[in-house]
């Protein structure tokens, strides 16, 4: 009897185990099916909208060129040096203009570097007090206080009225080497300078009368 009961108990236990095993197997199969279910295809992302062609950069507007000034106004005449006249501000530019401005004798000496004959000029024997101007531009070039009698027949001075009014350059004409002097302002030929003059300078500016204009002093 005990054996029978034990057998029945074993049989019941096996039946229960068998039932549980089958149920577990079914669930596994079910789960597998669910797992193996096809995945829904992932919706493709809309392709990135292609940008339209890059807009051409508008050319940078060129700056308006700086307005060109009207022709550069002529510079104001250089302030005249003391002792010069307003007429010196505007000078002829060509030989033709000089020829129209000067007398024949003045043109021959001032522009063509001629020489007047000794003892024929207006100023070689002038002893009045005053100033001597360039006949071409009215620049004051010599003073009567520096004039002396050289015995040459041409007006002679020991120095110019002031520094810078007379310029010089080498002259090799007539087979000699001399220092030619001319008006620094207009370039008009005056004569020559030598080193045989009296003190204090030891110089002798030998000048053509026709190159000069004399202006008598108003002082008594």
CATH assignment of 86-216?
A: 2.170.150.20
Q: Is 83 left (phi over 0), alpha (psi -120 to 50) or beta?
A: left
Q: How confident is the model at residue 76 (pLDDT cuts 50, 70, 90)?
A: very low
Q: How confident is the model at residue 218 (pLDDT cuts 50, 70, 90)?
A: confident
Q: How far apart are CA 51 and CA 58, in angstroms?
A: 19
Q: What is the DSSP letter of 107?
A: H
pLDDT value at position 7? 66
Find out whether 160 and 142 touch, Cβ atoms under 8 Å.
yes
For residue 40, pLDDT beyond 50: yes
Is 134 one of the annotated active-site residues of the chain? no
Boundaries of every domain in the chain:
86-216
Work out the percent of the chain whose per-residue pLDDT is above 90. 54
pLDDT tens, position by position, 167-179: 999 988 888 899 9
Q: How confident is the model at residue 119 (pLDDT cuts 50, 70, 90)?
A: very high
pLDDT tens, position by position, 195-205: 999 999 999 99
Selecting among 134, 137, 183, 206, the annotated active-site residue is 206
Mean pLDDT taken over the chain: 77
**184: which residues sit within 8 A by CB, 6+ positions away?**
139, 164, 165, 166, 167
């Amino acid at each position: 009897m005990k054996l029978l009961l034990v057998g029945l108990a074993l049989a019941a236990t096996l039946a229960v185990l068998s039932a549980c095993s089958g149920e577990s197997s079914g669930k596994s199969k079910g789960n597998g099916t669910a797992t193996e279910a096809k995945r829904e295809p992932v919706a493709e992302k809309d392709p990135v909208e292609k940008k339209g062609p890059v807009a051409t950069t508008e050319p940078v507007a060129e700056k308006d060129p700086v307005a060109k000034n009207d022709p550069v106004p002529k510079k104001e005449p250089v302030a005249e040096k003391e002792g010069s006249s307003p007429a010196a501000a505007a000078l002829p530019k060509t030989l033709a203009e000089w020829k129209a401005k000067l007398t024949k004798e003045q043109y021959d000496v001032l522009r063509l570097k001629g020489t007047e004959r000794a003892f024929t000029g207006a100023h070689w024997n002038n002893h009045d007090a005053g100033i001597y101007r360039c006949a071409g531009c009215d620049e004051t070039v010599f003073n009567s206080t520096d004039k002396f009698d050289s015995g040459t027949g041409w007006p002679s001075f020991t120095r110019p009225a002031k520094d810078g009014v007379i310029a010089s350059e080498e002259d090799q004409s007539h087979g000699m080497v001399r220092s030619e002097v001319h008006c620094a302002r207009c370039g008009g030929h005056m004569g020559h300078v030598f080193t045989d003059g009296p003190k204090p300078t030891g110089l002798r500016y030998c000048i053509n009368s026709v190159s000069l204009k004399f202006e008598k002093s108003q002082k008594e």
